[in-house]
Structure 1
Amino acid sequence: MESIKLNAQNLSKFEAKVAIPTYDRSLVKAGIVHVGIGGFHRAHEALYTDQLLHKSGNENWGICGVALLEFDQKIYNTLKDQDGLYTLIVKELDGSLTKRVIGSIVEYLFAPENPSAVIEKMASLNTKIITLTITEGGYNYNEATKQFDFSNPLVQQDLEHPTKPKTIFGYLTQALKLRKERGQKGVALQSCDNVQGNGHMLQNMLLSFVKKAEPSLLEWIQKEVSFPNSMVDRITPATSPADILNLKKESGIDDAWPVVCEPFKQWVIEDHFANGRPAWEEVGAQFTEDVVPYEKMKLSLLNAGHSVLGILGALRGYATIDEAASDSNIADFLKLYMDKEVTPTLGDLEGVDLESYKKSLLERFGNVYIKDQIDRICSETSAKLPIFILPTINAQLKGNGKIKFAAFVIAAWAIYSLGLDENGNPLVIKDALADVLHQKAIAAKKEPKEFLSIESVFGDLKKSEVFVDAYRKSYHDILKNGVERCVLDLNNEILNKI
Structure 2
Amino acid sequence: MKLSTETLSDLPEQIARPSYDRSRVTAGILHVGLGNFHRAHQAVYLDDLLNRGGSTEWGILGAGVMPADATMREGLKAQDCLYTVLEQDAAGDRCRVIGGMTDFAPVAAGHAGILRAIRGAEIRIVSLTVTEGGYFIDPATGLFDAGHAAIAADIASPETPTTVFGAIVAGLRWRRDTGMAPFTVMSCDNVPHNGDVARAAVIGIAEGQDPALANWIAANVAFPNGMVDRITPATTDARRAHLRDAFGIEDTQPVFCEPFRQWVLEDRFSDGRPALEEVGVQFVSDVTPYEHMKIRILNGGHAMIAYASALMGLHYAHDAMANPQVRGFLEKVERTEVIPIVPPVPGTSLTDYFSQIEERFANPRVEDTIHRLCYDGSNRQPKFIVPSAADCLAAGRGVQGLALASALWCRYCYGEGERHETFEANDPAWARLKERSRVARDRPAAWLEMSDIYGPVGQSKVFQDAFSEALGALWATGTEATLRRYIDTGLS
TM-score by length of 2: 0.96
User: Structure 1 residue 23 and structure 2 residue 36: aligned?
Assistant: no
Alpha-carbon separation, structure 2, partners of 1:408 and 1:110: 47
Pairwise CA distance, 1:114: 6.0
Cα pair distance change 1:474/1:435, threshold 3 Å: same
Q: For structure 1, which segment, 152-161 or 408-417, has the greater mean C-alpha deviation from structure 2 after superposition?
A: 152-161
Cross-structure match for 2:291: 295
Cross-structure match for 2:466: 470
What is the DSSP-based 3-state SS (H/G/I as helix, E as strand, rest coil) of the residue aligned with 2:489? Answer: helix
Alpha-carbon separation, structure 2, partners of 1:81 and 1:472: 55
Q: For structure 1, which segment, 202-211 or 231-240, has the greater mean C-alpha deviation from structure 2 after superposition?
A: 202-211
Cross-structure match for 2:267: 271
Alpha-carbon separation, structure 2, partners of 1:200 and 1:171: 18
Pairwise CA distance, 1:162: 3.1
Cross-structure match for 1:361: 357
Cα-to-partner distance string for 1:56-82 (whole Å, 9 max, x where unaligned): 341100001111212333322221221
Pairwise CA distance, 1:403: 0.9
What amino acid is the match of 2:90?
Answer: L
The 5 Å alignment of 1:159-174 reads: 159-174=155-170
Alpha-carbon separation, structure 2, partners of 1:272 and 1:250: 42
Cα pair distance change 1:85/1:316, threshold 3 Å: same
Alpha-carbon separation, structure 1, partners of 2:18 and 2:394: 52
- Aligned 8 A contact 1:211 1:218 in 2: yes
Alpha-carbon separation, structure 2, partners of 1:235 and 1:10: 29
What is the DSSP-based 3-state SS (H/G/I as helix, E as strand, rest coil) of the residue aligned with 2:46? Answer: helix
2:94 to 98, 110, 125: 98
- Aligned 8 A contact 1:375 1:429 in 2: no
What amino acid is the match of 1:18?
Answer: I
- Aligned 8 A contact 1:159 1:213 in 2: yes
- Aligned 8 A contact 1:173 1:214 in 2: no
User: Structure 1 residue 40 and structure 2 residue 37: aligned?
Assistant: yes
The 5 Å alignment of 1:267-416 reads: 267-416=263-412
What amino acid is the match of 1:388?
Answer: F
1:81 to 78, 83, 91: 78
How big is the alpha-carbon RMSD for the aligned residues of Structure 1 and Structure 2?
Answer: 1.7
Alpha-carbon separation, structure 2, partners of 1:150 and 1:303: 28
What amino acid is the match of 2:52?
Answer: K
- Aligned 8 A contact 1:143 1:459 in 2: no
Pairwise CA distance, 1:159: 2.9
Pairwise CA distance, 1:151: 4.3
Alpha-carbon separation, structure 2, partners of 1:424 and 1:80: 45
- Aligned 8 A contact 1:144 1:460 in 2: no
Cross-structure match for 1:227: 223
- Aligned 8 A contact 1:203 1:227 in 2: yes
What amino acid is the match of 2:127?
Answer: T
Q: How many residues align?
A: 492
Pairwise CA distance, 1:129: 0.9
What is the DSSP-based 3-state SS (H/G/I as helix, E as strand, rest coil) of the residue aligned with 2:30? Answer: strand
Cross-structure match for 1:178: 174
Cα-to-partner distance string for 1:334-388 (whole Å, 9 max, x where unaligned): 1111111111221222210221111111111011111101111221221111111
Pairwise CA distance, 1:212: 1.5
Moved beyond 4 Å, runs of 4+: none
What amino acid is the match of 2:244?
Answer: K
TM-score by length of 1: 0.95
Alpha-carbon separation, structure 2, partners of 1:432 and 1:157: 22
- Aligned 8 A contact 2:69 2:107 in 1: no
Alpha-carbon separation, structure 1, partners of 2:338 and 2:158: 43
Pairwise CA distance, 1:12: 1.9
Cross-structure match for 1:62: 59
Alpha-carbon separation, structure 1, partners of 2:423 and 2:200: 36
2:246 to 229, 247, 250: 250
Pairwise CA distance, 1:17: 4.3
- Which consecutive residues of structure 2, in runs of 5 or more, have no partner in the other structure? none
Q: Percent identity?
A: 35
